[in-house]
Chains A and B, each alone.
Chain A
Amino acid sequence: MSEPREDAVVQRRWMTILQKTGTPVISALLAIAVGSIIIWASGYDPLAAFAALFKGSFGSPKAVGDTLLKSTPLILTGLAVAYGFRAGLFNIGAEGQLFMGGLAATALGLALGGASWWVSVPLMLLAAMLAGAAWAFIPALLKARIGAHEVITTMMFTYIGRYFVGYLVNGPMKEPGNIPQTPALDPAAQLPRIATLFSEAAREAVPILNLGRAHMGILVALIAAVVIWLILKYTTLGFENRAVGFNRWASETAGISVQWTTVKALCISGVLAGLAGATEVMGVHHRLFDQFSSGFGFTGIAVALLAKNHPLGVIPAALLFGALSAGATTMQFEAKVPQDIIQIIQALVIFFVAAEEIVLWFVRRRQKEAISHAG
């Protein structure tokens, strides 16, 4: 009896999902298309370039491992930026909080020396979270109390944080020798590689387990994504965050403290960015030096926007950018295309997601077709 009606409901639900995922997917495709045109116009073969890129990001278990390796910090910085956006705040300085997280994890890890892993790993992650939050706290306070624009202040804190780390690895924390870096972390203070969790025999039987340099940080990142999703969906904290992002005046009227929510939002954002610093130090480099992040904080902006600030959407978005950056080296080596093209594609993704009207035009056309077919 009510079948046509249910059909309509189901169809509308599909429409919403299509609209939500459609824009990001089309944005990403458009960005890759424009990137291909740039590659072609520069005198290279786009097909060869993307073939090499694919080989470097998914062509072998080791390549998949590299993609996971690059995606790990991007999930966390993507979450950091997304959580801020959901409160109407633009944490452009996740990079700085990431630096401080990496610093805190290293400092504590070195101090703990040879403590067992179940003591050092959680404590180091915690230290990184606190350091990230602390680095976001002053911009947060300035934003909440006097309205100082967080884009300028968090950006400035990024520079300050970088110089601070630069000073420490050239000075007090420098290991003996000529290289400006800290001593290596004790193996118990590192995040183990995924491949090492399996026995030789298991890895031989299931080759996909040979994930190369991918490390357990991916687990930390995935847990963080689920936790942030739960917070946003089911807790008062998350509700207030969303409410303030949606309409700060209405929230204030409804009795939500906009100032306090602002501080919490930027600090939680800092916690996530700080974690990204910790996983990079503990899982990849096993020490601190001043170039340990290749702009993960900034790529996190693209990740968050592509995910439309949805914590679970951040995971596929980060995988896309992780794959792009994992494959970039192979692409530059085999197809000779400068790997900066990846940064151009990232920028284009942000641009197309922001300029939703171009993309929505495509989606609406698809919808019209779908409706006319259904009708």
Chain B
Amino acid sequence: MLDSIITPDLFAAAIRIATPLALAAIGGTICERSGVVNIALEGIMLTGAFFGTAVVLATGEPWLGVIAAVLAGVSISAVHAFASINLRSDQTVSGTAINLLALGVTGFLMKLWYGHPGTTDQIKTLGSVFTFDAPGGGVLAEVWRWVNAILFTHSPIVYLAIIIAIVAQWAVFKTRWGLRLRALGEHPRAVDTVGVNVARGRWVAVLMSGALAGLAGANLTIEQVGSFTENMTNGRGFIALAANIFGRWTPVGSYLASLLFGFADALQIKLQILRGVVNVPPQVFQALPYVLTVIVVAGVVGRAVAPAASGVPYRKD
């Protein structure tokens, strides 16, 4: 039975499922490093997913959809930035407002534009970047089959997410910009004193997290599902926040933590298919990623420390 569970496509699925989580989690990392908590990842992702789909439906061009998703993510995160940086709202509350707003706006436009609730028509999706053959037999061919399935069967944003994780890690920890970003989240007063604009630095970080969460939405609809369904993010934004914590507020850490969640989800999907063999109700498997999130948050929080000024509005006076 293990043979039919532990297959190359299980790992490939794990990487695929991890991608939207990782993108949003890296967004959350950058945002929190600057001192702004982003509970709104869920809603931003949903907004990106919707507008990405809408543009592909209108133009038939998946890449235009990806761009639209990113722009939509940036736009709605600007609301969060304005509320939490300029108006000094409670960031968690502002984020919650955006999550509800995203649900309302996407549901409203769904009915306005397509005349029905639920799910949109299928769209043209982005497929695998590479298509390699798996020639011959023998051990080498078997190894190649695994390598090919895990590394070379993915769509563009999946690879993009890996590149983003590495570049973001470098940018946050090895560049001047990164040093300032981290200082903003630890001691904004000090950053202000040396003449850096705290509000602008935080704005940039929040908009970047919006772009990344929007891209996550694009991956969800334009690469994975091929249509938009109301409330399709289904808690992924919150799981991404947990991945960010588990990854200890680092981009690569966020990516690896997302891989863990991706693997758990891929495994539960696999097990559901084998339900005839292991007689467990499907809801038990569906609840698994959420249970895992609680365990991870509970297990790691005591030892990981959030940026000191995260969630605290900065008042310049």
Binding site for B on A (CB under 8 A): 38, 42, 90, 92, 138-139, 142, 146-149, 151-153, 155-157, 159-160, 163-164, 166-167, 170-171, 298, 301-302, 305, 338, 340-348, 350-351, 353-358
> Which of A151, A171, A298, A358 neighbours the largest number of chain B CB atoms within 10 Å of its CB?
A151
State how many angstroms separate the Cβ of B110 from the closest Cβ of chain A: 8
Is B89 in the interface zone, CB < 8 Å from A?
A: yes
Is B225 in the interface zone, CB < 8 Å from A?
A: no
Partner of A358 from B87, B92, B245, B293 at Cβ < 8 Å: B87
Cβ contact within 8 Å between B93 and A350 = yes
Cβ contact within 8 Å between A347 and B104 = yes
State how many angstroms separate the Cβ of B2 from the closest Cβ of chain A: 26
B99's closest neighbor in chain A, by CB?
A: A347
- The residues of B that contact A155 with a CB separation of less than 8 Å are 235, 238
Cβ contact within 8 Å between A90 and B92 = yes
Q: How far is the CA of A47 from the CA of B245 in the complex (A)?
A: 47
Q: Pick out which of these stretches binds chain A: B49-57, B159-167, B178-186, B294-302.
A: B294-302
Cβ contact within 8 Å between A156 and B107 = no
- The residues of A that contact B301 with a CB separation of less than 8 Å are 146-149
Q: Pick out which of these stretches binds chain A: B4-12, B62-70, B283-291.
A: B283-291
Is B155 in the interface zone, CB < 8 Å from A?
A: no
Cβ contact within 8 Å between A171 and B293 = no
State how many angstroms separate the Cβ of B89 from the closest Cβ of chain A: 4
Cβ contact within 8 Å between B96 and A92 = yes
18 A-B interface contacts by CB (under 8 A): A90-B92, A92-B96, A138-B294, A142-B294, A148-B294, A148-B298, A151-B39, A152-B242, A156-B238, A156-B242, A157-B294, A159-B290, A163-B290, A164-B283, A340-B108, A340-B110, A348-B97, A354-B94
State how many angstroms separate the Cβ of A159 from the closest Cβ of chain B: 4
Is B101 in the interface zone, CB < 8 Å from A?
A: yes
State how many angstroms separate the Cβ of A355 from the closest Cβ of chain B: 4
Known: A146-B301, A159-B287. A344 touches B294 (CB 8 A): no
B82's closest neighbor in chain A, by CB?
A: A355
Chain B contact surface mostly: helix
Within 8 A of A (CB), among B230-251: 234-235, 238, 241-242, 245
Q: How far is the CA of A171 from the CA of B93 in the complex (A)?
A: 37
Cβ contact within 8 Å between B283 and A167 = yes
Known: A170-B283, A357-B88. A350 touches B97 (CB 8 A): yes
Q: How far is the CA of A164 from the CA of B286 in the complex (A)?
A: 10
Q: How many A-B residue pairs have CB under 8 A?
A: 140
Is B103 in the interface zone, CB < 8 Å from A?
A: yes
Known: A146-B298, A171-B281, A354-B89. A347 touches B108 (CB 8 A): no
Is B121 in the interface zone, CB < 8 Å from A?
A: no
Within 8 A of A (CB), among B73-113: 79, 83, 87-90, 92-94, 96-101, 103-105, 107-108, 110-112
State how many angstroms separate the Cβ of B299 from the closest Cβ of chain A: 9
- The residues of B that contact A353 with a CB separation of less than 8 Å are 93
Known: A146-B301, A160-B291, A355-B89. A152 touches B241 (CB 8 A): yes
Partner of A147 from B97, B101, B105, B302 at Cβ < 8 Å: B302
State how many angstroms separate the Cβ of B301 from the closest Cβ of chain A: 5
Cβ contact within 8 Å between A354 and B93 = yes
Cβ contact within 8 Å between A152 and B238 = yes
- The residues of A that contact B294 with a CB separation of less than 8 Å are 138-139, 142, 148, 152-153, 156-157, 160
Known: A298-B100, A340-B107. A170 touches B281 (CB 8 A): yes
A172's closest neighbor in chain B, by CB?
A: B281
State how many angstroms separate the Cβ of A318 from the closest Cβ of chain B: 16
Q: How far is the CA of A345 from the CA of B108 in the complex (A)?
A: 12
Per-residue A-contact encoding for B109-136, CB less than 8 Å = 1, 0 else: 0111000000000000000000000000
Partner of B97 from A146, A351, A356 at Cβ < 8 Å: A351
A159's closest neighbor in chain B, by CB?
A: B290
Cβ contact within 8 Å between A305 and B93 = yes
Cβ contact within 8 Å between A347 and B107 = no
Within 8 A of A (CB), among B248-301: 281, 283-284, 286-287, 290-291, 293-294, 297-298, 301
State how many angstroms separate the Cβ of A89 from the closest Cβ of chain B: 11
- The residues of A that contact B97 with a CB separation of less than 8 Å are 347-348, 350-351, 354
Q: How far is the CA of A151 from the CA of B237 in the complex (A)?
A: 12
State how many angstroms separate the Cβ of B242 from the closest Cβ of chain A: 5
- The residues of B that contact A159 with a CB separation of less than 8 Å are 234-235, 287, 290
Q: How far is the CA of A343 from the CA of B96 in the complex (A)?
A: 12
Q: How far is the CA of A358 from the CA of B82 in the complex (A)?
A: 11
Cβ contact within 8 Å between B100 and A341 = no
Q: How far is the CA of A191 from the CA of B272 in the complex (A)?
A: 39
Cβ contact within 8 Å between B290 and A148 = no
State how many angstroms separate the Cβ of B290 from the closest Cβ of chain A: 4
Q: How far is the CA of A90 from the CA of B242 in the complex (A)?
A: 16
Cβ contact within 8 Å between A351 and B298 = no
A299's closest neighbor in chain B, by CB?
A: B100
7 cross-chain pairs, A with B, having the tightest CB-CB distances, nearest first: A343-B104, A347-B101, A340-B107, A344-B104, A338-B111, A167-B283, A347-B100
State how many angstroms separate the Cβ of B194 from the closest Cβ of chain A: 27
